[in-house]
């Protein structure tokens, strides 16, 4: 089967959600499928093109058996909304000609965000007469509205109309959570058109390791109870609660918060920590992929956060990497959220509501004295990850879905020819 992926980010060394599409494309190529990816020059999260790449109009390379077509897009380190929108828009447009240079696919898969990429995918599906699968990593424009990024009513209505058009014309829609599925059903999308395949982690890559390791030594974390957040520091992360909890706990010198990542709110949080003169929060940039398992292993608790406004339109993938590392999860999410449901089902952590830094601080203090429970929760998470959210399990499900779409299209084509 010839599969054309369209995704904004694709690079083996990328630290963003591009890891998912890279894993998927690579694994499908290893299983004998002919896979092409249309993407841009890798630049996330700093807005600078990675060393060894150039932001060219058109470039082709082969990575682990996957043909990668890179097209030009506007790239800037600016965190302003207009800069990000220009980046999304230019890639979404140039992906069209990138897809035209690919050989005719059997199935087209486009990722959202960015939402406008669906327009190029729709046009290519019509040009090639190939079925189109829309993969939703976040619900847009819902997520942008919830984060306060999108406020203009005319702009909101335009993107809501675009969203509705894409949902109607995609042959299949793949979502990463039950909340996403429910949201689409409310929007009038037939349940039969929606497939749930969760985000995954690779238990062979992210695995249980010794807590006392080189990462701890390098950053002065020996003999500390480490509470770690690793991921995008975005508008929905509600990390203000973590800063306030750190302020409450600053007298407990054995507790250390570590925030690893980049994002639009990082500078604001750093400024707040500096103003409060908090010594118990350490900010670090995204770490190279090869150090990722050791970094997660250095934590006593893994933080997963999502504010109330985004709970229906976003699903942080970091939860699965924490589970893979056999570390327990302390989640800051609204009661009844899907994150909370996963944690309770797996028995792998605890939950506190957003805007409750006192409860967060209290939970951390209580967990310090429950070492056996903390260890057991980490083991529970690892066992659940291996059973339901492993890379191999989810790629199997994805391959079955793509095969079913392809087979159904072939049958329809044969039926249409017989009618003639």
pLDDT (tens digit per residue) in 80-136: 777 888 988 999 999 999 999 998 999 999 999 999 999 999 999 999 999 999 999
169, 306: one domain? no
Higher pLDDT, 288 or 387: 387
**What's the mean pLDDT in 341-361?**
95
In total, how many domains does the chain have? 2
Q: Which domain holds residue 184?
A: 2-200+391-419
Q: What percentage of the chain has pLDDT greater than the value 90? A: 74
* pLDDT score, position 83: 83
Q: Report if residue 206 sits inside a domain.
A: no
Phi, psi of 205 (to 5 degrees): -90, -55
Residue 15 predicted with pLDDT over 60: no
Residues 337 and 405 in one domain: no
Instruction: Classify residue 54 as left (phi > 0), alpha (psi -120 to 50) or beta.
Output: beta
Question: Are residues 248 and 169 part of one domain?
Answer: no
In which band, very low, low, confident or very high, does the pLDDT at 14 lie, cut at 50, 70 and 90?
low
Measured CA to CA in angstroms, residue 382 lies from 37, 231, 368 at distances of 31, 19, 20
pLDDT of residue 12: 62
Is the pLDDT score of 22 beyond 80?
yes
Between residues 10 and 2, the one the model is more confident about: 2
Q: Under a CB-based contact definition with an 8 Å cutoff, are residues 42 and 11 in contact?
A: yes
Q: What is the pTM of this model?
A: 0.90
Is 65 a member of any domain?
Answer: yes
C-alpha Rg value of the chain to the nearest Å: 22
- 278 and 308, same domain (yes or no): yes
* Domain co-membership, 145 together with 237: no
What is the pLDDT confidence band of residue 320, given thresholds at 50, 70 and 90?
very high
- Same-domain check for residues 239 and 146: no
Contacts of 364 (CB under 8 A, 6+ apart): 225, 227, 245, 249, 255, 301, 330
In a domain, 187, yes or no: yes
Alpha helices, DSSP H, located in 170-208: 178-186
* Together in a domain, 130 and 252: no
Q: What is the predicted pLDDT for the residue at 412?
A: 72
**Does residue 76 form part of some domain?**
yes
Q: How confident is the model at residue 418 (pLDDT cuts 50, 70, 90)?
A: low
Q: What CATH number is associated with residue 78?
A: 3.40.50.2000
Do 127 and 86 lie in one domain? The reply is yes
Over residues 392-414, the pLDDT tens digits come to: 999 999 999 999 999 988 777 67
Q: Is the residue at 205 inside a domain? A: no
Question: How confident is the model over 235-280, as pLDDT tens digits?
Answer: 888 899 999 999 999 999 999 999 999 888 999 999 999 999 999 9
What value does the mean pLDDT take over residues 129-149?
Answer: 90
74 pLDDT tier (thresholds 50, 70, 90)? very high
In a domain, 151, yes or no: yes
Using CA atoms, how far residue 399 sits from 1, 31, 263, in Å, is: 10, 9, 33
Mean pLDDT of the region 325-341: 94
Q: Is 335 contained in some domain?
A: yes
363 and 327 in a common domain: yes
**Mean pLDDT value across residues 141-165:** 89
> Given this model, what pLDDT does residue 263 score?
87
Residue 19 lies in a domain: yes
Tell me: pLDDT of 416 over 80.
no
- Both 96 and 130 in one domain: the answer is yes
pLDDT of residue 194: 97
pLDDT tens sequence across 360-390:
999 999 999 898 999 999 999 999 999 999 9
Which of 20-24, 56-60, 179-183, 311-315 has the lowest average pLDDT? 311-315
pLDDT value of position 187: 94
Element (H, E) at 352: strand 349-352
What average pLDDT does range 21-42 have in this prediction? 95
CB 237, CB 206: distance < 8 Å: no
Its sign, for the CA torsion 293, 294, 297, 298, is: negative
Is there a single domain that holds both residue 129 and residue 223?
Answer: no
pLDDT at 80: 77
| Residues 9 and 145 grouped into a single domain | yes
Provide the strand spans (E) within 202-348: 225-230, 255-260, 281-284, 301-305, 329-332
């Amino acid at each position: 089967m010839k599969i054309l992926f369209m995704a904004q980010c694709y690079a083996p060394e990328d630290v963003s959600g591009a890891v998912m599409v890279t894993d998927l494309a690579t694994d499908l190529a290893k299983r004998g499928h002919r896979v092409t990816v249309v993407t841009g020059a890798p630049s996330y999260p700093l807005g600078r093109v990675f060393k060894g790449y150039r932001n060219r109009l058109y470039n082709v390379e082969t990575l682990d058996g996957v043909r990668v077509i890179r097209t030009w897009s506007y790239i800037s380190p600016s965190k302003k909304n207009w800069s990000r929108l220009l980046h999304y828009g230019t890639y979404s447009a140039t992906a069209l000609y990138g897809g035209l240079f690919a050989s005719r696919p059997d199935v087209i898969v486009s990722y959202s965000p960015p939402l406008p990429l669906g327009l190029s995918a729709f046009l290519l599906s019509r040009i090639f007469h190939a079925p189109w699968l829309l993969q939703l990593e976040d619900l847009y424009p819902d997520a942008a509205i919830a984060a306060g990024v999108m406020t203009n009513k005319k702009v909101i209505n335009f993107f809501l109309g675009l969203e509705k058009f894409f949902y109607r014309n995609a042959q299949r829609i793949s979502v990463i959570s039950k909340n996403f599925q429910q949201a689409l059903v409310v929007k009038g999308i037939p349940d039969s058109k929606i497939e749930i395949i969760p985000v995954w982690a690779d238990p062979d890559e992210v695995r249980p390791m010794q807590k006392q390791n080189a990462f701890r030594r390098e950053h002065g974390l020996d003999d500390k109870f480490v509470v770690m957040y690793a991921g995008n520091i975005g508008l929905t992360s509600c990390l203000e609660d973590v800063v306030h909890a750190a302020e409450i706990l600053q007298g407990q010198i054995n507790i250390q918060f570590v925030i690893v990542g980049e994002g639009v709110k990082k500078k604001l949080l750093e400024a707040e920590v500096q103003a409060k003169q908090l010594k118990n929060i350490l900010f670090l940039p995204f770490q190279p992929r090869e150090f990722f398992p050791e970094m997660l292993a250095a934590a006593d608790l893994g933080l997963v956060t999502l504010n109330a406004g985004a709970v229906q339109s976003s699903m942080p993938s970091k939860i699965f990497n924490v589970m893979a590392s056999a570390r327990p999860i302390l989640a800051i999410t609204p009661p009844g959220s899907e994150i909370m449901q996963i944690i309770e089902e797996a028995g792998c952590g605890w939950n506190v509501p957003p805007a409750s830094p006192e409860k967060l601080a209290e939970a951390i203090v209580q967990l310090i004295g429950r070492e056996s429970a903390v260890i057991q929760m980490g083991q529970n998470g690892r066992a659940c990850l291996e059973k339901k959210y492993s890379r191999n399990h989810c790629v199997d499900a994805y391959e079955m879905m793509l095969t079913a779409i392809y087979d159904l299209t072939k049958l329809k084509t044969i039926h249409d020819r017989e009618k003639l």
